[in-house]
Every structure is written in C-alpha cells, then in structure tokens.
C-alpha cells in the first residue's frame, strides 16, 4: 500500500515522493545499468536518464504487473537507446554462426571479474549478451529491441561468448592475472 501511494504521489510530480522512489530503487536499478554500460560512469548516466524517463512516464504505469519490473524495463530501454545508432551492430550471414558454450566454475571466478569483462565487451556484443544470457530474451525479441536481424543477434552473442571465454581462460592460466582478480 505504501508503494501505491508513492506511485500516486510521483504521478502528481511531488519532489518528496520522487526522491523517496529514487532512494528506494536506485541501487537495484544501478546494477541493471552496470550490466549494459561499458563502465561505471556510463552506468551512472544511464541511471540518471532512466529516472528522468521514469518520472516523466510514470503515468503510463497502470498498477498491473511488478512495478520494479516496469522500472527495470525503462532502465534497459534507456540503455539500449544509447547504442541504437548506425554502425553499432554488424549485419552478418546467419549460416556462418557457430554457437560457443562457455563453462565457468563460478567458485573460481569472482563476480566482480565477470562483470568487468562483460563491461569490456564492445557495445553490440555486451547488449546482446546481457539481453540473451542475463535477461532471458530470445534472438527474435533482441532483434526487435535493437532493430537488428536475428542472425546479427546470434552472431554477436557467439562473438561475445568467444571473447569472454578467452578472457576467462587467460585469467585462469596466467599466475599474474589470478593474483590481480583475487
């Protein structure tokens, strides 16, 4: 019930309610931003832009479904808009796509390291990887969200996995890298 009142007050553009909403959800939404941004600073920018959109469009939330889910969709869409420019996504022939599976021993690889190497991916690979692996979207959904073909989505995911696999393998075989990530 408190959440319903908070949403109503935000719809009325009350600054106190907006501040409370920000305080309550900023950390959760920032973790979403970090998945899609190449670095901390851009994640902060995405979060700020997302909250501007949230406060502007909160009237569109109709109290159906999870409010936090709605907030996360706004954040993801805000992040994706930053990367929907020409040249970010390459067109590829779908027949040349080879699936790459990456097996990770989660106990040996620190979460911070995984997040870091995901953030280091080129924009197009990071977006597709996060949408597919982290958020469970299909290649067809990703194609629609990013305005690319399903083949491009599949190719970018495969390339992201190869890059991540190589970086993980390098970190596991290099004594110097191991000490840096631990």
- List, in order, residues 6 or more apart from 76 with CB less than 8 Å away: 32, 36, 131, 135
| Mean predicted lDDT score pLDDT of the chain | 83
> Are both 123 and 176 inside the same structural domain?
yes
Let me know if residue 88 belongs to a domain: no
Q: So what's the pLDDT on residue 31?
A: 92
Are residue 76 and residue 105 in the same domain, yes or no? no
What does the pLDDT read at residue 63? 83
- pLDDT of 86 reads 52
Do 73 and 100 lie in one domain? The reply is no
- Distance, in Å, from the CA atom of 39 to the CA atom of 44, rounded to the nearest integer, reads 9
Do the beta carbons of residue 27 and residue 112 sit within 8 Å?
no
Shared domain check, 176 and 98: yes
**Collapsed DSSP state (helix, strand, coil) of residue 31:** helix
- Do the Cβ atoms of 121 and 162 come closer than 8 Å? no
68 lies in the same domain as 99: no
Residue at which a domain ends, from 37, 54, 82: 82
Domain that holds residue 174: 94-181
Q: What are the residue ranges of helices labelled H in 12-57?
A: 15-36, 40-57
Q: Which of 16, 49, 82 is the C-terminal boundary of a domain?
A: 82
Q: Which domain CATH number covers 45?
A: 1.10.1740.10
Same domain, 101 and 158: yes
Tell me which residues of the chain have a pLDDT lower than 50. Answer: 88-97, 100, 102, 104, 176-182
Residue 94 is predicted with a pLDDT of: 44
> Of 60, 82, 104, which marks where a domain is finished?
82
So what's the pLDDT on residue 110? 80
Considering the domain boundaries, does residue 89 fall inside one? no
Classified as helix, coil or strand, 8 is helix
Instruction: Tell me: do 49 and 23 sit in the same domain.
Output: yes
What is the number of domains present in the chain?
A: 2
Dump pLDDT digits (tens) for 80-133. 888 776 554 444 444 444 554 545 455 567 878 888 899 899 988 999 999 999
């Amino acid at each position: 019930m408190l959440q319903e009142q908070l949403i109503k007050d935000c719809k009325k553009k009350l600054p106190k309610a907006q501040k409370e909403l920000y305080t309550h959800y900023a950390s959760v939404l920032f973790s979403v931003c970090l998945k899609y941004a190449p670095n901390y600073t851009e994640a902060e920018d995405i979060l700020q832009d997302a909250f501007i959109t949230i406060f502007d469009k909160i009237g569109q939330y109709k109290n159906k479904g999870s409010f936090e889910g709605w907030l996360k969709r706004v954040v993801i869409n805000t992040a994706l808009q930053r990367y929907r420019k020409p040249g970010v996504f390459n067109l590829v022939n779908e027949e040349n796509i080879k699936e790459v599976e990456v097996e990770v021993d989660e106990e040996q690889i620190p979460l911070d390291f995984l997040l870091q190497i995901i953030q280091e991916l080129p924009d197009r690979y990071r977006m597709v990887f996060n949408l597919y692996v982290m958020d469970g979207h299909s290649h067809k959904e990703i194609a629609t969200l990013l305005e690319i073909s399903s083949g491009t989505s599949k190719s970018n995911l495969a390339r992201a996995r190869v890059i991540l696999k190589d970086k993980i393998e390098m970190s596991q075989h290099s004594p110097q890298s191991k000490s840096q990530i631990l």
